[in-house]
Structure 1
Amino acid sequence: MDTTTKSGRARVLGMFTAVASALLLIGGGLSIGGAASADTRPVDPTNPATPPTVDGSVLPTTQMDGVAWAQTVVGNTVYVAGKFTAARPSGSPAGSNTTPRSNFLAYDVTTGVLKTTINVPLNAQALAVAASPDGSRVYLAGDFTTAGGATYYRIVAISTATGQIISSFRPAMASQVRAIAATNTALYAGGTFTSVNGIATGYIAKIDASNGSLVTSWKASADYVVDALAVSPDGSRVYAGGRFQKMDGAANYGLAMVDGTSGAVLPFPTNTIVRDAGVNAGITALAATSDRVYGSGYVFGSGGNFEGAFSSDAVTGALVWMEDCHGDTYTVMPIGNVLYAAGHAHMCSNVGGFPETNPRTYHHTLAFSKARTGTLTNDGNRSYANFRGQPSPSPLTWYPDFSTGTYTGQGQAVWSLSGNTNYVVAGGEFPTVNGKAQYGLTRFATDSVSRSTMGPNNNTALTPTASSSTSGQARIAWTSTYDMDNYQLTYALSRDGNTANPVYTTTKGNNFWNTSAMSFTESGLTPGSAHTYTLTVTDPDGNQIARSGNQVVIAGGGTNPPPVASFTVGQNGLTISVDGTASSDPNGTIASYAWNFGDGSTATGSTASHAYAAAGTYTVTLTVTDNQGATNSTSKSVTVTANSGNTIAQDTFQRTVSGGWGSAQTGGAWTGSGSATQYSVSSGTGNIADAAGTTATELLKSVSSTRTDTTVTLTTDIAPSGGGAFVSAIGRQVGSVAYEGRAWISASGAVQVQLLQSGTTIQSAVVSGVTYTPGMQLTLRVQVFGTSPTTIQAKLWPATQAQPTNWQVSATDSTAALQAAGNVGLKAYLSGTASPSPVTVKFANYGVVAVP
């Protein structure tokens, strides 16, 4: 449900693509199953929440020159349906070493090499492929009207024994076939067609596998296009998905279950929760096992509510779980205890995965536990349906990096997934995987087949930084890293190159979106000695990276004269800038700078700036620390005054009030929403005891302005859980609508800054390098100025650091109801899934000035 996919989705569903129908794994054992999940080597592979997955390493695979829409695996052979003209070996650039292949090819799943004995040219694209459960034949379907030079109207059967067409099976489909699913005696087909062999049907049909005749006793009929099909392993149930709203005249919105023999509609209650159908939404894929049916969907605009994958009971149709990662999902593939999915997900925080980023980042393949392990959290983006409280799986650490292709013009990468107990195969239009050229087709294997070669991410934040401020001790700090197919990593810290005997070893789990600070303090070192530390990180597959840091001189060796602290101050209204670069150390270097601005705010770095909430005289103190840990401080008194006529509102909360906030120094009385008992003022903070699922607002209704610049410091007494805490500065409220800048503090500690218009998020950005802990003070600055359009911009940073130079989020808006002067205020919302509750949100140093 994002602007990048609207035209692409319309073209994909309306012009020449299809999302694969249920691709059941057919092979020598003719079954779906096997080891799979959490990462390649989870701590507890028997835990339903962390089953092992295939690894993220790319295996050499046949390439082609177009797009692969669908795949299935029979024994050791992968059958690929799509739109392409030639195949080429792995490693060959486009146009070299090519072998003609028209819209269909096969390759060996164990080697990735093209099967030269299987070649059935099609004169137009193939959109779907399915195999009979006994593995004796493979069916292809799509737009073609000839196969192997003979006439076959959009469906053809191929013998897996000979690689040749089975000529006795020759149904005539009136138009495009988009989905197929097979038993040993029948083929189920769905698409845009409304007749088979000249007999009227309703977008879905059952065809006799022996002779291609329409099974007229099967009465299922849809009112619009069928895009996905799957059949239960025993053949008793057929699952259909697509853009239809009715099946056999009964309401089945985009999703239906019918009897495999009669076609009679069976209950499928999942379709009362997952609602995707019509011209702007639909079910894109289905896959069935003995106990589950899995599906995926998309929506853009009206008519749908779900993007992501779901799991339902194969017999009752009841929802088992859903993952509502934002971004269309095109295919699902269950293997053992893992469900693999592909699409262009860009936010999975509702299910415990990665957050939205700005600019937006897409992840084209995901993996989830088969087991239901939790519930979805509150969706902070109101343009999406909120499935809070619905059952959910666990996201697994499997994030291979696909680049998007250009062949279809849709800006997509992976369109289809299939596999068996040892392999997952991906098909689409991607040019590279993990930075390696591998066009359109690739393979991933379990650790039992091929050990992963994808090691921990080697980024600069991993470099250890050593310091010594206590005699005989060294403190070494770094930021954890991540691995695309392993969650738990081992960190080994060694001194002076002795990597065989590390001084510290630990394990820690992280994903790419939630790295965190780590440190170790080594004692018993000789004062005055110099050391260098190396950090080695190893994943469970043995892949290893290492980084060495700075040399540190251990404190305590002889007399260390203290450094000299010195700084200058510049002032503009209520804002000062400080510069401590004149500080020096007689026998070393300045290692750190710490500022105290005299109003409870602090900062670090050689230079900093600070905006005071109120005029007055403040004592500014600079403390410098040298490279051996010695410190020295100096202070200056600074008097700040607001620019004449510039202050709109200010409140330092230097009073004690219960049952409300009383009145601000400038701006009049605060007016609170809801129960007055949740509001109080004490010790320099305005407090909101916010209960789970509630919104609390304090407004200064005496203020009316179209040009506001708000600064406020905020914190919470405990870490928010569930969907996190949302804390806003209201820059303009007109009646019940408002422009806000908001801090989202997630349960993982990740922090976002957001812009809102009347409760709808219009822009957001992750605040990099910040992991929130209870009591951490964040400063939020929000500007709202102008009319028709109004400019809204915000920045968010730790109060101990200097204010960022640039606005992190900025937008314009012309909503008619907000193009007038409005009130200012503060607001807090706590996720309905947060526990414990309430969480107390504390505000300090609130100030609003007029934008010049």
Structure 2
Amino acid sequence: MEQPDVVSDNPANNTPVLVDTDPVDTTALHVDAIAQADGTLYAGGLFDAVANSPANGGQQFDRDNVVALDADTQELRRAFAPVVDGNVWAIEATANAVYIGGAFSTVNGVSTPALAKLNPLTGAVDPLFDAGFNGGRIEEIKLVDGRLIVAGKNARKLMALDPDTGRDTRYIDLGISDPVPNTRGGVTIFDFAVNPAGTQLIATGNFLTVAGEPRSKFFVADLGANEATLNDWYYEPLAERCATDNPRRVANLQGVDYSPDGTHFAVTATGQIVETASDRNRTVCDAVGYFDLADDTTPEWINYTGGDSVWSTAVTGAAVYAQGHFSWLDNTRGFASKCPEADLAICDARKGVGAIDPETGMALPWDPNKPARLGGKDFLATTEGLWIGSDSRRINGEERYGLAFMPLL
């Protein structure tokens, strides 16, 4: 979504907050997916109660891992209250339907593993929609040219379903296979984005092969009239290892987003920054990388955190937003989450979220300071501003547990 300027660093006051209902359970609550349609904002994640802001009455409501609110007033939609028995990781919304994906088995007591289609007003399950999944996990959903594209750890990992029935159209059949060595969880798509024209897709995940070709952790696919095909674009250093041996971090590439004109994209990464100086500005590890789709030999830039994960990104033209559990941007020589003393004048302190100039690759002054436990997994840029979903309790010193809205001024 193109925006004319960087959003405010002062969060809107009316946003509802997640509520801790168990004082013994120390699990962080979080919002991991955000979508908007027809004046309603939908948010999914891991939570069981949400409270309106004081301006909207302050009432607390039971909400099981998905919630709806008025996108303008930010007051909760009381009629929308589906009961989802697991983490919601993905949402796509239209005026007529809300699709949710994640690691759940039932919605409203109805068996609908990993993917469900809901009534956008009541949250009732559509009984005519059945993807036939037996389990697994859906990480991302997008409706593109009449096809519901879903990705995760299910069946063929990236599929195009009929949005009415859930039937696999076989439009996408890319043979995504072979997990990265020394990883856990098996072959999975972590995230994907579709260009504004709806003609191309980029994806990250835990895989080595796509359509019989080597494509470690990342690929580009063209969305043709009748089928999706693998694109030749691939930046070879994406296949290289970062410094970590942690099986959860070896498949390091995470969130992706296209520029508003579709010519560039951003990709975020975990993996622990490499210590070898020759690999800096070459490998995307604990960093945000920005690439030109006309050139697969050299990144436009890579902005390093100095040793902390970056999970998600949103590219608006005015900025490349990024969030994770980092403390720094512009930290090329940092390691183990520190900025070297010699670089303190260069490193920019950014807690949990930041904005990068798409032209220079350097941090913009925007700094709302958002302490995080693991870090945020989703943004949604709109014509009004930027929604941020995360596990953070506060942003810019104000309580916004799980969800914040940063308006355009």
TM-score with structure 2 setting the length: 0.78
Q: CA deviation at 1:67?
A: 1.3
Q: CA deviation at 1:350?
A: 4.5
CA offset digits 1:338-390 (Å, max 9, x no partner) = 221101223323479998278997611111223x23xxxxxxxxxxxxxxxxx
Which one of the candidate residues 344, 354, 366 is aligned to 2:354?
366
Is 1:191 aligned to residue 152 of structure 2? yes
Is 1:177 aligned to residue 177 of structure 2? no
Q: CA deviation at 1:55?
A: 3.0
Q: 1:151 maps to which residue? A: 111
Q: CA deviation at 1:313?
A: 3.6
Structure 2 CA distance, aligned partners of 1:320 and 1:101? 43
Which one of the candidate residues 201, 210, 216 is aligned to 1:238?
201
Q: 2:253 maps to which residue? A: 283
In structure 1, the residue corresponding to 2:266 is in which secondary structure? strand
Which one of the candidate residues 278, 285, 291 is aligned to 1:312?
291
Which one of the candidate residues 249, 252, 263 is aligned to 2:215?
252
Structure 2 residue identity aligned to 1:126: V
Structure 1 CA distance, aligned partners of 2:107 and 2:128? 14
C-alpha change, 1:56 and 1:160, in structure 2 (3 Å) is: same
Q: CA deviation at 1:177?
A: 1.5
C-alpha change, 1:297 and 1:264, in structure 2 (3 Å) is: same
In structure 2, the residue corresponding to 1:299 is in which secondary structure? coil
In the TM superposition, what are the counterparts of 1:22-37 in structure 2 within 5 Å? 32-37=1-6
Structure 2 CA distance, aligned partners of 1:315 and 1:238? 15
C-alpha change, 1:86 and 1:315, in structure 2 (3 Å) is: farther
Structure 1 CA distance, aligned partners of 2:41 and 2:381? 8
Q: CA deviation at 1:81?
A: 1.1
In the TM superposition, what are the counterparts of 1:753-764 in structure 2 within 5 Å? none
Which one of the candidate residues 421, 435, 440 is aligned to 2:402?
440
In structure 2, the residue corresponding to 1:171 is in which secondary structure? coil
Structure 2 CA distance, aligned partners of 1:177 and 1:351? 34
Q: 1:299 maps to which residue? A: 271
Q: 1:400 maps to which residue? A: 368
Q: 1:698 maps to which residue? A: none
Q: 2:22 maps to which residue? A: none
Which one of the candidate residues 12, 15, 23 is aligned to 1:61?
15
Q: CA deviation at 1:80?
A: 0.7
C-alpha change, 1:402 and 1:247, in structure 2 (3 Å) is: same
In the TM superposition, what are the counterparts of 1:333-352 in structure 2 within 5 Å? 333-350=314-331
Structure 2 residue identity aligned to 1:250: E
Structure 2 CA distance, aligned partners of 1:78 and 1:366? 23
Q: Is the 8 A contact 1:90 1:438 kept in 2?
A: no
In structure 2, the residue corresponding to 1:272 is in which secondary structure? helix
Structure 2 residue identity aligned to 1:235: G
CA RMSD across the alignment:
3.2
In the TM superposition, what are the counterparts of 1:45-84 in structure 2 within 5 Å? 53-65=7-19, 66-84=29-47
Q: 2:26 maps to which residue? A: none
Which one of the candidate residues 114, 117, 132 is aligned to 2:79?
117
* Equivalent pairs, count: 362
Structure 1 CA distance, aligned partners of 2:209 and 2:167? 25
C-alpha change, 1:88 and 1:306, in structure 2 (3 Å) is: same
Is 1:268 aligned to residue 268 of structure 2? no
Q: CA deviation at 1:421?
A: 2.2
CA offset digits 1:702-747 (Å, max 9, x no partner) = xxxxxxxxxxxxxxxxxxxxxxxxxxxxxxxxxxxxxxxxxxxxxx
In the TM superposition, what are the counterparts of 1:320-339 in structure 2 within 5 Å? 320-326=300-306, 327-339=308-320
Q: 2:280 maps to which residue? A: none
Q: Is the 8 A contact 2:215 2:239 kept in 1?
A: no
C-alpha change, 1:425 and 1:217, in structure 2 (3 Å) is: closer
TM-score with structure 1 setting the length: 0.39
Q: Is the 8 A contact 1:257 1:265 kept in 2?
A: yes
Is 1:106 aligned to residue 68 of structure 2? yes
Greater share of strand:
1
Q: Is the 8 A contact 1:346 1:363 kept in 2?
A: yes
Structure 2 residue identity aligned to 1:155: L
Structure 2 CA distance, aligned partners of 1:274 and 1:290? 27
Q: Is the 8 A contact 1:276 1:298 kept in 2?
A: no
Is 1:126 aligned to residue 88 of structure 2? yes
Which one of the candidate residues 356, 359, 367 is aligned to 2:339?
356
Structure 2 CA distance, aligned partners of 1:235 and 1:315? 18
Q: CA deviation at 1:161?
A: 6.6
Structure 2 CA distance, aligned partners of 1:117 and 1:325? 42
Structure 2 CA distance, aligned partners of 1:314 and 1:75? 33
Structure 1 CA distance, aligned partners of 2:67 and 2:163? 22
In structure 2, the residue corresponding to 1:333 is in which secondary structure? strand
C-alpha change, 1:301 and 1:33, in structure 2 (3 Å) is: closer
Structure 2 CA distance, aligned partners of 1:362 and 1:340? 12
In structure 2, the residue corresponding to 1:142 is in which secondary structure? strand
Q: CA deviation at 1:122?
A: 0.9
C-alpha change, 1:317 and 1:207, in structure 2 (3 Å) is: farther
Q: CA deviation at 1:295?
A: 1.9
Q: Is the 8 A contact 2:98 2:117 kept in 1?
A: yes
Q: 2:190 maps to which residue? A: 227
Structure 1 residue identity aligned to 2:390: G
C-alpha change, 1:271 and 1:425, in structure 2 (3 Å) is: farther
In structure 1, the residue corresponding to 2:252 is in which secondary structure? strand
Structure 2 CA distance, aligned partners of 1:314 and 1:165? 40
Q: Give the structure, 1 or 2, with the largest relative contact order (CA under 8 Å, sep 6 or more).
A: 2
C-alpha change, 1:182 and 1:446, in structure 2 (3 Å) is: same
Which one of the candidate residues 161, 175, 182 is aligned to 1:207?
161
In the TM superposition, what are the counterparts of 1:665-744 in structure 2 within 5 Å? none
In structure 1, the residue corresponding to 2:328 is in which secondary structure? coil
Show structure 2 runs of 5+ residues with no match.
20-28, 178-186, 275-282
Structure 2 CA distance, aligned partners of 1:323 and 1:240? 20
In structure 2, the residue corresponding to 1:345 is in which secondary structure? coil
Structure 2 CA distance, aligned partners of 1:230 and 1:417? 13
Structure 1 CA distance, aligned partners of 2:133 and 2:44? 18
Q: CA deviation at 1:215?
A: 2.1
